[in-house]
Structure 1
């Protein structure tokens, strides 16, 4: 199956990618080898892939050269490559013992080496997890390995929130293009996914709250209603994990809120949940983002990342290909 062709084109300095995260259910099902599934992404969907190595390399977080080389060679055989590798930083050796600074570095270094070996240009960690001291130790390695470390901001995080601003300030203070920010556009949600609201309804959330979530997502009072229901123990246990997305993974920001941090940003996750674009809930944030990036001369990667496989059983290849086509048109239209 060939890659989708679309009429609108984004700037050549932007690279559209697909995340292997989108194929998580298929990888877990293990009907095919995980490495074969990732190689298939290149053959069917996108020439550049963002890798979730914990899903693919059995030896992760200390990837063995044989596994890494095999994936690199298989991708090269299809004319593809890896963009960013999702790194892991397990800060505790047990519930009561935190790793020392040197132990944290030792945990991360094999992942950096593997990322370089597989041909990636960068690695990714949650915003602020590394911290200034570890970043200072990692910086020389990033230069030696020709890698960029991206720290990811997402969901309900905002650039000026107390938990986020200090980490962004620390990156800015480094003044090093080897340490950048990755923005997940789950921050930019004008409305909730239709399929998600349907799942909440099936799970027992009241029609009144569903109506409010559907029509008044960005109203601060809606956040209060969500917290109140949770604190009152009113969330049905069978959908408790799904409900928590409202508190963590779904944001209320707008593209313009990113203006101040754009000089630090080198990559985006084009997070989507379903492809129901009623009212522009999927395409409008992309159009807004495309305009913002065009005006500011952005260069970097934009990766299709599907979060909706948590509750949808759709084919990941079809979903990702359709999303990439929609995203390119919307970004270019911006």
Structure 2
């Protein structure tokens, strides 16, 4: 019997994966988003409206309705919409919580109009005061607000734990965490290391990044090299991934927060799975989720287009979704009676 994921666990694709296509503008952003469904890559998609609607952050109804109509015709649906919260009116005037709510309101209304189940913000950005004001609006629009943790954030980190505790304290189904598995990186992507090498990063540091990524002292070496001023300007932003977007956590660290988690980003950078560097974190996640009541989206999100500009997003996403499904099943996340025995947490 072919193993199936449990009911309620949905594999999805993020339109973010097609960022280079959006930049090339050979097709409209709406055509690209709808094409994900029409081409059979995924029937559920996550949207980045800043790339999609020219009127963002106050999306026009006609733009939203065009996408909704075309997705309906293709039998596709939207899971989560990436929201944006600009906390500042200008460099010296910060928005009040009431003003921040009004900044978000049209984005939430657009998410509802396009048929999304939720919207996404970085963990902790909203703060308790705004969250308390948002919850009635979220309920009216039948939306969930997901606060995302990723990269070097972790459930126990001082910068993240208070925001997670706020979600727990508010105890409302309209507020959940989204976990990006960029937190769970056993090794760095070879394509990224190759880009650093071509830019002139010293071989000694590259060796540490390749073979000792999970050693915390490697992070110290990364900071030391940055402070030396030796990072070439051409890759400065890319180098910062080492300090922000690439994490060292283990999947078991998620167990205590699982009741608060409503969605996952299955972040990948390239598809070089030597040593199971791509599949192992997904398999470990499947093990942690097996036997739980998790129901939500597990979304393929490709971050490597930053340095793999010529790779085909459709091909990368198709292959990653196939790999992800297999890895989740291997971890034990299967519908009852359809799959393999669950081996338990390792």
In the superposition, the TM-score normalised over structure 2's length comes to 0.94
Query: Do the aligned residues in 2 keep the contact of 1:23 with 1:316 (CA within 8 Å)?
Result: yes
Q: Does 2:284 align with 1:285?
A: no
Q: Does 2:269 align with 1:273?
A: yes
Instruction: State the partner residue of 1:13.
Output: 8
Instruction: State the partner residue of 1:219.
Output: 215
Instruction: State the partner residue of 2:28.
Output: 33
Give, in whole Å, the separation in 1 of the partners of 2:233 and 2:102: 40
CA positional deviation for 1:296: 2.2
Q: Does 2:299 align with 1:324?
A: no
CA RMSD of aligned residues (A): 1.0
Give, in whole Å, the separation in 2 of the partners of 1:43 and 1:331: 25
In the superposition, the TM-score normalised over structure 1's length comes to 0.97
Instruction: State the partner residue of 1:4.
Output: none
Give, in whole Å, the separation in 1 of the partners of 2:316 and 2:5: 20
Q: Does 2:290 align with 1:294?
A: yes
Q: Does 2:224 align with 1:228?
A: yes
Give, in whole Å, the separation in 2 of the partners of 1:296 and 1:205: 44
Query: Do the aligned residues in 2 keep the contact of 1:9 with 1:329 (CA within 8 Å)?
Result: no
CA positional deviation for 1:242: 1.0
Give, in whole Å, the separation in 1 of the partners of 2:65 and 2:232: 46
Distance 1:278 1:109, change over 3 A: same
Give, in whole Å, the separation in 2 of the partners of 1:332 and 1:307: 24
What secondary structure, in the 3-state scheme, does the structure 2 residue paired with 1:63 have? Answer: coil
Give, in whole Å, the separation in 2 of the partners of 1:295 and 1:207: 44
CA positional deviation for 1:241: 1.0
Give, in whole Å, the separation in 1 of the partners of 2:5 and 2:66: 32
Query: Do the aligned residues in 2 keep the contact of 1:63 with 1:111 (CA within 8 Å)?
Result: yes
Instruction: State the partner residue of 2:76.
Output: 80
Instruction: State the partner residue of 1:333.
Output: 330
Query: Do the aligned residues in 2 keep the contact of 1:8 with 1:333 (CA within 8 Å)?
Result: no
Instruction: State the partner residue of 2:48.
Output: 52
Q: Does 2:161 align with 1:165?
A: yes
CA positional deviation for 1:8: 4.3
How many corresponding residue pairs? 329
What secondary structure, in the 3-state scheme, does the structure 1 residue paired with 2:242 have? Answer: helix
What secondary structure, in the 3-state scheme, does the structure 1 residue paired with 2:243 have? Answer: helix
**1:203 aligned to which of 199, 206, 217:** 199
What secondary structure, in the 3-state scheme, does the structure 2 residue paired with 1:252 have? Answer: coil
Q: Unpaired runs of 5+ in structure 2?
A: 332-346
Query: Do the aligned residues in 2 keep the contact of 1:8 with 1:328 (CA within 8 Å)?
Result: no
Give, in whole Å, the separation in 2 of the partners of 1:134 and 1:111: 15
CA displacement 1:223-266 (0-9 Å, x = unmatched): 11101101111212211111110000000001001111111000
**1:66 aligned to which of 50, 53, 62:** 62
**1:42 aligned to which of 34, 37, 43:** 37
Q: Unpaired runs of 5+ in structure 1?
A: 1-6
Instruction: State the partner residue of 2:337.
Output: none
Give, in whole Å, the separation in 1 of the partners of 2:136 and 2:199: 50
CA positional deviation for 1:28: 1.3
Instruction: State the partner residue of 1:111.
Output: 107
Instruction: State the partner residue of 1:193.
Output: 189
CA positional deviation for 1:103: 1.0
Give, in whole Å, the separation in 2 of the partners of 1:295 and 1:192: 30
What secondary structure, in the 3-state scheme, does the structure 1 residue paired with 2:139 have? Answer: helix
Instruction: State the partner residue of 1:315.
Output: 312
**1:156 aligned to which of 152, 155, 160:** 152
Query: Do the aligned residues in 2 keep the contact of 1:34 with 1:55 (CA within 8 Å)?
Result: yes
